[in-house]
Amino acid sequence: MSISIIIPVYNEEECIKLCVEETQRAFQEVDYEILIVNDGSTDQSHGVISALAAGNGHIQYISYPENKGYSHAIRRGVQLASKEYTSYLDADLQYLPTELRKMYEFAVKNRYVFVLGKPTRKYYKFLRHFMSLVYNFLVAQLLNLRVGDANSLKLIATQTLKALELKREFGGVELEILLGMIDHSIPIILFPIHVQERLAGKSKAGLKIILSTLGHIVDLRRSQRESRRGQRQP
């Protein structure tokens, strides 16, 4: 079996080198590829990533000048993924590559299509913790998705992930994936993982993100209703 690991990057010059090195170390005995998507970083991320990718057959580097958002970066990575499973890691190493390796082995052993990380402990600061609680409450109430942490680490069979034809451009790709799994009657298998503090740099969390996320949830709820309405029509 094999795995494509997408790492979306936006101004992560302090984290990305260690993230890539730790990912390579965790998967050194596996057939893997790392797809680094530089989403319009304005710091020194490009130079750091270019040096990492030079002469490394496991790394594919995708970069564009405009910041198009997390969802766009994930979509670009999914389009290029070529291994049997696909996952994505944030460069700040809150989700450790060693945890993803455990998820991968679990999925391969049991032939699961989709595995979702279930954080057993979170080292979030107050604002991030509050945002996570509000976000997952809204997801549960508005989308009827009760999976613990909807934004947690995910591992998906690549063929299935590509079949979803992800469309979210500016946000909401995490929920789009979960709803796609449900629409395709694919079981969501939970796997316990450890979440640690951000390695370095500043979190992107803030009021703008909260409002944007709420908009994505409402938009997905509307799409969900329209889809169900269309299915009922003869």
Cα separation values, 114 from 87, 105, 135, 153, Å:
10, 13, 22, 11
Q: How far apart are CA 36 and CA 148, in angstroms?
A: 28
Cα separation values, 46 from 18, 41, 42, Å:
15, 7, 8
Low-confidence ranges of the chain (pLDDT < 70): 121-132, 135-136, 139, 142-143, 168-171, 199-218, 220-234
Q: Where are the domains of the chain?
A: 2-232
Chain segment 174-218, per-residue pLDDT in tens: 888 988 898 899 999 999 999 887 766 555 555 565 566 666 666
Judge whether 35 and 62 are in contact, CB under 8 Å.
yes
pLDDT value for 124: 57
pLDDT value for 159: 98
CATH code for the part of the protein at 2-232: 3.90.550.10
pLDDT value for 122: 57
pLDDT value for 176: 87
- pTM recorded for the entire structure: 0.84
